[in-house]
Each structure stands twice: as C-alpha cells, then as structure tokens.
Amino acid sequence: MTSIDVSLGQVAAALTLVALAAAISRWQRAELEGDILVATVRSFVQLTAIGFAIEAIFEADTIWLVLALLTVMVVFGALTARRRADRVPGAFLPLLVALTVAGATTLGLVVALGIFEPEARYLVPVGGMVIGNAMTAAAVGLNRLGDEVADSRAQIEATLALGATAREAAAPIVRRALRSGTIALVDSTKTTGLIFFPGTMVGMLLAGAEPVDAVRLQLILLYALLGSVAIAALLATTLAYRNFFTPAQQLRDLG
C-alpha cells in the first residue's frame, strides 16, 4: 500500500481557494461568505474528529468498534434522511431498516465474495460510502413518494374505490419513487470517467497508486454502491408507503 504525507501547511495553502470562493460571493453579493466560513470550519472540525476516531479504530482493530461506528452512521443517516422525507408519516423506521439492510448486505457480500478482508481498514471507509449513498437514495426516494402521494390522491382513491389493495393502488407511485431514488447513481455511473473522476480513484492516484489499481478499486466500489442504493431505495419506499394507508385500505387524511 502506498502512503502519502500531507502537512497542515498544505491544507492551509488550499484555503486560498476558499478565500477565492468567498471573494466571488462578496463581489457578486451572493451573501454566501458566512456559509462558506461555516462550511470550512465544520469540514475541518468534523473530518479531523472522524480522522482521530478512525485512527483509534484502526489501531484497536476490533470488529466491535467497527460495528459500533457503522451503527452510529446508520442511525444518523436515517435521522438526516427523515428530514428530507418530511411528508412521509413514520419515515424513520423504514429508513433505519433500509440503511441497515443495505449496509449489512453490501458489506457482507463484499467480504463473503473475498473482495475485501473483514478488517477495519476496509470496512470503515467502504461502510461510510455505502451508508452515505444509501441514505441519499432512500431520502430522495421517500421525498418523491411524499410528493407523489400528495399529487395523486385522486388517482389512488379512485383505484382503491375499485377494490384494489393499498399495495396495488400505490404500485405506480412506489415504482416512480424507487426510480428517482436510484437513477442519480445509475446516471453518474454511466458517465464516470468521461465527465467526472470519482473520489476514490482521485484519492488513490494522488496517493501514488497505479492507475490500473485505482480504476479496479473504483469499479468495485461503484458496483457495490449500485447494489446498496437499489436495496435502500427499494426497502425505504416499499416499507414507507404503508404508512399512508389505514388497515381498512383507506388513504389517510394527513391534512
């Protein structure tokens, strides 16, 4: 494994670009200087903190600490996604299940298939990416689901009135919500290498890895992410749509 030393001086030098961003904002009166400052400070504090945490976990090298960290990520991910899905009643539990299953299945498979060793050095960064992307997909999916139910009340009720179950009446909107949760990653996977270089590959190239290794590792991660994103969007939408209906197959009046 190649490694690379980055000094605090180099990080400080990169702040020049932040200053440039702030200058543009001020010049154009975009009033983003405050947000840019907050973003800069928060990113520094948060990443430094997680860096120490990861270092400690790598040194301890016990699977329990890794699992604890991943659990914290899943819970915070579900809480964050719930804010985006504010039109979906009881969204937290479906999100928690979706992120847990997406994370566990994806990490379980990459270990079982022998792609990565079950070590903190692999599980923590891969788990973070998997859970982060699953969170975004589930949040986008549920956000769309909430909008669709609000917009399609007449059609859902007209279908229920024919004696369709809630599941049948909601099927078209669940399908659309699942699509919108998954499509962003599918699209970016299509254009990867042409329009943008994904982060892992950039990081590895900067760290001095052979391009062929960087590409292969990036492909593994992209494929793993596709799986986890699909699982998360599927579970979140198919579990959450039920909360819009009563046991008597009626569309709840959410006001």
Partner 1 sequence: MLFALRDVSYSRDGRRVLDSVSAELGAGATAIVGPSGSGKSTLLRLLNRLSDPERGEIAYRGRPLRDYEPLALRREVALVPQLPALLEGTVEDNLRYAARLAGEELEAERCLGLAGLGGDFAVRDVGRLSVGEQQRAMLARALAQRPSVLLLDEPTSALDHAARDEVEATLLRLRGELEISLLVVTHDPAQARRLAERALRLDAGRVVAGGSVEEVAR
- Whole-Å CA distances, 69 to 37, 54, 118, 120: 28, 9, 15, 10
In this complex, which beta carbon is closest to partner 1, that of residue 86 or of residue 157? 157
Please, which residues have CB within 8 angstroms of residue 67's CB and are 6 or more apart in sequence? none
- Whole-Å CA distances, 20 to 16, 43, 156: 6, 17, 51
The reply on whether position 158 binds partner 1 by CB under 8 A is yes
- Token couple for 199: 């982060």
The reply on whether position 86 binds partner 1 by CB under 8 A is no
Minimum CB separation of residue 152 from partner 1 in Å reads 8
- Cβ burial of 127 (10 Å; 0-12, 13-18, 19+) is buried
Of 125, 128, 132, 172, the one binding partner 1 (CB under 8 A) is 172
Q: List, as one string, the DSSP characters of 91-147.
A: -HHHHHHHHHHHHHHHHHHHHHTTSS-SSHHHHHHHHHHHHHHHHHHHHHHHHHHHH
Q: Which stretch binds partner 1 (CB under 8 A): 64-72, 90-98, 158-166, 183-191?
A: 158-166
In this complex, which beta carbon is closest to partner 1, that of residue 5 or of residue 253? 253
The reply on whether position 232 binds partner 1 by CB under 8 A is no
Of 242, 45, 247, nearest to 149 by C-alpha is: 242
The reply on whether position 251 binds partner 1 by CB under 8 A is yes
Question: In 3-state terms, what secondary structure has residue 85?
Answer: coil
The reply on whether position 151 binds partner 1 by CB under 8 A is no
Of 7, 27, 195, 255, the one binding partner 1 (CB under 8 A) is 255
Residues contacting partner 1: total by CB under 8 A: 19
Of 52, 90, 165, 167, the one binding partner 1 (CB under 8 A) is 165
Of 112, 154, 195, 212, the one binding partner 1 (CB under 8 A) is 154
Task: Report how far residue 182's alpha carbon sits from residue 190's, in angstroms, rounded to the nearest whole number.
Answer: 13
- Whole-Å CA distances, 238 to 97, 229, 231: 11, 14, 11
Of 1, 14, 17, 161, the one binding partner 1 (CB under 8 A) is 161
The reply on whether position 57 binds partner 1 by CB under 8 A is no
In this complex, which beta carbon is closest to partner 1, that of residue 134 or of residue 241? 241
The reply on whether position 4 binds partner 1 by CB under 8 A is no
The reply on whether position 48 binds partner 1 by CB under 8 A is no
Q: How many other C-beta atoms are found inside a 10 Å radius of the C-beta of residue 248? A: 7
Crossing angle of helices 120-151/92-112, nearest 10°? 140
Q: Which stretch binds partner 1 (CB under 8 A): 13-21, 165-173, 204-212, 222-230?
A: 165-173
Residues at the interface with partner 1 (CB under 8 A): 154-155, 157-165, 168, 172, 248-251, 253, 255
